[in-house]
Amino acid sequence: MAKRIMVVEDNDLNRKLFCDVLKANGYEVVPVADGQNVLETAKKYAPQLVIMDIQLPNVSGIDLIAQLKQDDAFAATPVLAVTAYAGKGDEDRIRDAGASDYLAKPVSIGPFMAAVRGLLGD
């Protein structure tokens, strides 16, 4: 059975790219455009990995990672954070919130898939 990955990305092109690449590599994908739907969607689909954009409208991806990690159902679920705004200290804040790994945009397919496979143990 394919492993399920939830992709939280407000940018339509980035979300489609991430989802298409993951599907092409045999993963089941749950796209989420609005960060306010993350916990509800995670509870409904129980993803094995969450790919989280950090810069989202209305809510910070860092806050969403922390919320997921505080929920017993997702405390052990790895989170791959992706962000275009990689300033000094950002990676530390993202990892402190509970992200398992971190990639700066623009994301190249090779490192992206290597990070996904590493977090899923594939």
Condensed to tens digits (0 to 9), the pLDDT of residues 67-99 reads 999 999 999 999 999 998 767 788 899 999 999
Single pTM value for the model: 0.96
Positive or negative, the CA dihedral 26, 32, 35, 40 is: negative
What is the C-alpha separation between 90 and 38, in angstroms, rounded?
Answer: 21
| Domains, the chain, with CATH or none | 4-10+17-107 (3.40.50.2300)
The pLDDT-based confidence of 5 (bands split at 50, 70, 90) is very high
* pLDDT, position 72: 96
DSSP character for 67? H
Is pLDDT of 1 > 90?
no
Token readout for 92 is: 């530390």
